[in-house]
Amino acid sequence: MWRGKTLLRLLRIQRVLVRHGLDEVIIATHFLRPLRFIFYLLPRGSDRSAPIGVRIRLALQELGPIFVKFGQAVSTRRDLLPPDIADELAKLQDQVPPFPAEEAVAILDAAYGQSVNAVFERFDFQPLAAASIAQVHSAALPGGQEVIVKLLRPGVRRLIEQDLDVLYAIAGLADRYWKNSRRLRPLELVAEYEKTIIDELDLMREGANAAQLKRNFENSEMLYVPEVFWDFCRPTVLVQERIYGVPISDMKSLRAAGTNIQRLAENGVEIFFTQVFRHNFFHADMHPGNIFVQTEDPEHPKYAAVDFGIVGTLSPSDQQYLAGNFLAFFDRDYHKIAKLHLDSGWVPPETRIDELESAIRSVCEPIFNKPLSEISFAQVLIRLFETARRFNMEIQPQLILLQKTLFNIEGLGRELYPQLDLWKTAQPVLQRWMDEQLGGRAVLESLRENLPQLRDALRELPGVIRHLAEQASQGKLQMQMESTELRQMRQLMLQQQRQRFFLGVGGTSVVSGTVLLGLGSAIPLAWVMIAAGVAMVTSGRPTGSR
C-alpha cells in the first residue's frame, strides 16, 4: 500500500505545508492526527509573515491540481470561511500561475504536426486564464472566428496519479482501522473521484460534454453553451467558441448593468434541476470561474458556461429516489423520506421507520420555507451526517458530484440573491419531471419501447396456449413433485408461462384498441381495451423489473 513514491509524495506535501506555516493547522485537524508524525520528520523552518489566506492559497497552488480543486470548491462557501481566506481561495478559480508560452506552442506544434501560425490566423501567447489542469489562450481561426484554445498542463497526469496514490493509501488505512469506514466507504469515494479527475485529462471528452450540453439547451433563454470546433480538437487541445460576459462573481458590474438579480438566481436553480432530472447530464464544476452572465437584455440575463471537464449523471433509480426525497421534503412528508431511504437500501433494512422519520423531522423542520439568507446547508448537512451515523446510513459515492454541485449552487445563490426561495423555484421543475415519469405519456412511451418484446410474445402465444392445453389433457400440470428443486423449477416455468400469456393477450389488446382509435370507431371500447392491455402487460412484466 505504502509504496516508496507514495511516502516521498507525503514528505513533499509535508515540506510544502511546513514552508507555508500550515503544519499547526493540519496537526490540529482531528482526522489527520494519526499522521502527525510526518510533520516532525523534517526541519520546521516556516514563513508565517504572510496572511493565513495567502499561505493557504500558495500551498494549494504548489501542491497541484487535486489540492487546487479542493480550494476552488471551498471558495464558493463564504458562509463557512473568513472573508480574507475566501477572497484568496477565489483566486484559484482562474488565477493559477500559467506555464510558459513556449511550452504552449510546443504542445500545439506536436498536436497538429505543424506550426501554430499555420493552424490559427492569430494566437495570443499571453494566457487568458490558467487553472490547475489546463490554461486557456485566445485565438482566431482562419476566417476570423474568435475562439479559445485550452491546453493541458505539461506533466499534470503524472502529478495527479501520484496524489491519487496518496489518497488511496490514506483511504486504505481508514478502511482498515477507522470504525466509520463501512458507512463512509473511503476507498469507493476515492475511486469515484479518480474517475472524475482522470476524465478531465481528455479534452476530447470535454468537447463531447460541451456538445451534449449545448444540444440539451438549444434555443434556451437561460443558458448558452459555446460551440466546439472539432477539426481543431485533440486529446490535449480543445478549441471552442469564445464567449463574452460578466463573471458571475462580479456583482458590481452585474448591478451596474441593471441585471435582474432575482431572476438570474432563480434561473440558476432551474437550470441545475433541469440538468439533473430532465436531461440527466449536469455540469458538475460550477465554481464562479466557470460561469459568466450575458447582460445584453438585463431584465432577462442569460448564463454562459465554460469548462465541461466534469459532468455527472445518475441512474434512473437514483433519479427517482432523489426526486421523491426532494418533493417529500417540500411537502414535509418525513415518513415518505424515511421510507424512500429504506427502499433504496441507503439505511439497513432493520431500521425502525418511525425513529428515522423523527430524526429527519428534527433536522429539516427548522429550516423549512426560510430564505437562503437564513439557512446554512452546511449546518443542515452536518446534522444529517450525525443522523446518518446514528442509523448506519452508507455514503453513496455516485452522488458525491451531485452533492458537490448542489453545495456550489447554494454558494452562488447566496452571493447573488440571499432571499432566494430555493424550494419555490425547484418544486415545479421536479413536479413536472415526476408527472412525466409516472403519467400516461410515460406509460405509452414504455409500451412503444417494448413493442419488439410484445411482438415476440404475440408470436409465441399460440404455441404457449397449445402447450398448456396438451399439459392439461395429459394431467401433467397436476403432477406431484417431491423434489424441492423440481417444485421450484415448475413454479418458475409456470410463472414465465403466465407472464407470456399476459404479455401476449395484453399486447393484443393494446394493439387492437389503438387500431380502433385510428379508425375512429368504438372509441370507448378502444380505450377500455388499451387500459386493460396496459394492466395485463404490467402484470406480466418479470418481477425483477418492477
3-state SS class at 127? coil
State the Cα–Cα distance between residues 307 and 398, nearest whole angstrom. 21
Distance from the Cα of residue 343 to its chain's centroid: 22
Distance from the Cα of residue 383 to its chain's centroid: 23
C-alpha distances (whole Å) from 146 to each of 231, 307, 411, 486, 537 are: 15, 17, 32, 72, 55
Q: What is the grid cell recorded at 310?
A: 466534469
Q: What is the grid cell recorded at 76?
A: 464558493
Nearest to 283 by CA among 155, 382, 377, 405: 405
State the Cα–Cα distance between residues 145 and 5, nearest whole angstrom. 46
Please enumerate, as own/partner, the contacts of 29-37 that have beta carbons within 8 Å and a separation of 24 or more: 34/173, 35/10, 35/170
State the Cα–Cα distance between residues 363 and 170, nearest whole angstrom. 31
State the Cα–Cα distance between residues 278 and 281, nearest whole angstrom. 8
State the Cα–Cα distance between residues 280 and 316, nearest whole angstrom. 9
User: Are the C-beta atoms of 93 and 287 separated by less than 8 Å?
Assistant: yes
- State the catalytic residue, choosing from 94, 163, 285, 307: 285
Nearest to 84 by CA among 53, 49, 50: 53
Q: Taking the CA atoms of the chain, what radius of gyration do you get in angstroms?
A: 29
Residues facing residue 223 across a β-bridge: 303
Place of cell 443558458: 223
Place of cell 400516461: 440
N-to-C CA span, the chain: 43
Q: Is 285 an active-site residue?
A: yes
Bridge-based pairing state of the strands 134-140 and 129-130: antiparallel
**Residue 274 DSSP one-character state:** I
CB atoms within 10 A of CB 256: 12
Q: What is the grid cell recorded at 163?
A: 496524489
Backbone angles phi, psi at 260, to 5 degrees: -75, 95
Q: How many residues does the chain have?
A: 546
State the Cα–Cα distance between residues 298 and 453, nearest whole angstrom. 52
State the Cα–Cα distance between residues 408 and 79, nearest whole angstrom. 12
Residues facing residue 239 across a β-bridge: 149
Q: Going by C-beta distance under 8 Å and a sequence separation of 6 or more, which residues neighbour residue 384?
A: 363
Backbone angles phi, psi at 343, to 5 degrees: -60, -35
* Active site residue ranges: 285
